Amino acid sequence: MMNLTKPDEKIAILTCMDMRLDPKKFPGLEQSKAYVIRNAGGRANEETIRSLVVAHKFQGAKAIFVIQHTDCGMMNFTNDILCDLLEESLQTAVYGGNGWYNPVKEGGSRAGQYINFQPIRNLEQSVIDDVTYIRNHPLISKKIPIYGYICDVKTGELRPVQQAMQIGQVQE
């Protein structure tokens, strides 16, 4: 596997909190010095922009890698499904043949309607959308490259998402 960065190059990685992913071992990035931002799905949003700005502005990160992954749990629900589940109960749900359900049906809250949980409908599109969001954010320098990859959790390989790569290019 080719190195994706120079040795000891500082970078920022936005990736999923899934415990099967080890950001220190992403192929091609092992020799970099990475500031790792993790959340459910590895999705970009205003909160992740905060960390990306600090990683670049104060820590000198030279590139941003958005790395989402196959078999992500964020592909197994929609905002509506999660809001309905939360309204019924706040306890852990169970994934069964027909999707998620609550074994306990009490003590819920309607407050989920105020949150976008950023579930993923299409993995490639999600990487494209998030690279686009970061690229277009007014606080992210146009001079910093943004790369979009999908990690295959079975093989550990990183597959570039070509459209995201194009959008994430440095702009002169």
**Do residues 63 and 55 touch, judged by C-beta distance below 8 A?**
no
Q: How far is CA 158 from the centre of its chain?
A: 14
Stretch touching Zn ion by CB under 5 A, among 25-33, 69-77, 94-102, 156-164: 69-77
Nearest-angstrom CA–CA distance, 135 and 133: 6
Give the residue, chosen from 29, 44, 67, 72, that forms a contact with Zn ion under the rule CB under 5 A.
72
CA nearest 9: which of 34, 26, 36?
34
**Among 4, 5, 14, 18, contact with Zn ion (rule: CB under 5 A):** 18
Note whether 67 binds Zn ion by CB under 5 A: no
Please say which residue, 33 or 38, places its beta carbon nearer to Zn ion: 38
Q: Name which of 144 and 164 has its Cβ closer to Zn ion.
A: 164
Nearer to Zn ion, 18 or 129 (CB): 18
- Alpha helices by DSSP H, listed for 6-110, are 46-57, 79-88
| Contact partners, residue 138, CB within 8 Å, separation at least 6 | none
Is residue 16 involved in binding Zn ion (CB under 5 A)?
yes
Binding site for Zn ion (CB under 5 A): 16, 18, 72
